[in-house]
Structure 1
Amino acid sequence: MRFHTRKWIKPEDLNPNGTLFGGKLLAWIDEEAALYSIIQLENQNTVTKYMSEIDFKSSATQGDIIEIGIEVVKFGNASLALKCEVRNKMTRQTIIKIDKIVMVSLDKEGNTKPHGKIKVEFVKDRLGDS
């Protein structure tokens, strides 16, 4: 799994218990999945359709650094299935694992749009040897 994003836990990210607010973390995961999918599918009109069960294993506190990892599970006709892991760099503990996040490619009218992708592409591969 590639870990693309790191977040520094600040006071505004905490719940009343003084630990990372789950809703904040889920928003970061959703944004990371969207950005990853938009780049892979080359379509800014890509949205979240599904997120599997969420089970928090540990947390983070103010000053901790977490990292968000995304990996492709499957390319569908108009979708991309991902899995995600978030870990605390300070404690080395997994905070959450999400087995399946489905992102869907849409056209301008909001209908599913086939993307024609079958494998992960890196930007450097799209640019060629110029």
Structure 2
Amino acid sequence: MRFHSRKWVKPEDLNPNGTLFGGRLLEWIDEEAALYTIIQLENSRIVTKYISEINFMSSAKEGDIVELGMEVTKFGKSSLTLKCEARNKMTRETILTVDNIIMVNLNEHGKPTPHGKTEVEFVKDRLK
């Protein structure tokens, strides 16, 4: 799994227990999944269709750095299925895993549309 971004846990990201609020982490994951899919499918019209069960294993506290990893598990006709891992860079513990995030490619009318992709592409390879 490739880890694409890092987030710094700030006071506004904490729950009443003083640890990372799960909803904030899910917001970060949804945004990262969208960004990853936009880059892969070369289309900014992307929506989240489905996020599977979320398995929290540990947490993070103020000042910790959270890394978000994404990996493509399936190319559908108009969708991309990803798996995600969030880990605490400071403690090296996995915070959570999400086995399936389905992102859908839309046309200019907001309807699902085929994307024609079958494998992960890297931007550096497109520039050759």
State the Cα distance separating 1:110 from its structure 2 match. 1.1
**What is the alpha-carbon distance in structure 2 between the residues aligned to residue 125 and residue 47 of structure 1?**
25
Alignment map for 1:80-99 (pairs within 5 Å): 80-99=80-99
Q: TM-score, normalized by length of structure 1?
A: 0.97
User: Number of residues paired by the alignment?
Assistant: 128
The gaps in structure 1 that reach 5 residues or longer are none
Q: In structure 2, what residue type is equivalent to 1:126?
A: R
Alignment map for 1:3-14 (pairs within 5 Å): 3-14=3-14
- What per-residue deviation string (whole Å, max 9, x for no partner) do you get for residues 57-95 of structure 1? 100000111100000001000000000000001111100
The question of 1:32 aligning with 2:32 is answered yes
Q: TM-score, normalized by length of structure 2?
A: 0.99
What fraction of aligned residue pairs are identical, expressed as a percent?
71
- Give structure 1 regions of 4+ aligned residues with deviation exceeding 3 angstroms: none
The gaps in structure 2 that reach 5 residues or longer are none
Alignment map for 1:1-130 (pairs within 5 Å): 1-128=1-128
**What is the alpha-carbon distance in structure 2 between the residues aligned to residue 126 and residue 39 of structure 1?**
11
**What is the alpha-carbon distance in structure 1 between the residues aligned to residue 113 and residue 107 of structure 2?**
5
**Superposition CA RMSD, Å:** 0.5
